[in-house]
Amino acid sequence: MAEILVDCRGETCPVPLVETRKAIRQAQPGDIIVVVGTHPASREEIPMAVRALGLELLSVEGTETDWTIRIRR
């Protein structure tokens, strides 16, 4: 099991979601994707996409403009 970091701090839509999807495609089952960012809309969009893909959303932490999302592939 690996941990994949996606650092999207300072990026705006759609970059954080696009980068998260790339990481999900590269991840193996059981891998953890850690997404860090600062864009408020992405903090909402990424968890919705994770649920739509049927993946496990482990946590959404931090503030609206400084957050970390953890996803299990």
Would you name the residues annotated as active-site residues? 13
CB atoms within 10 A of CB 58: 14
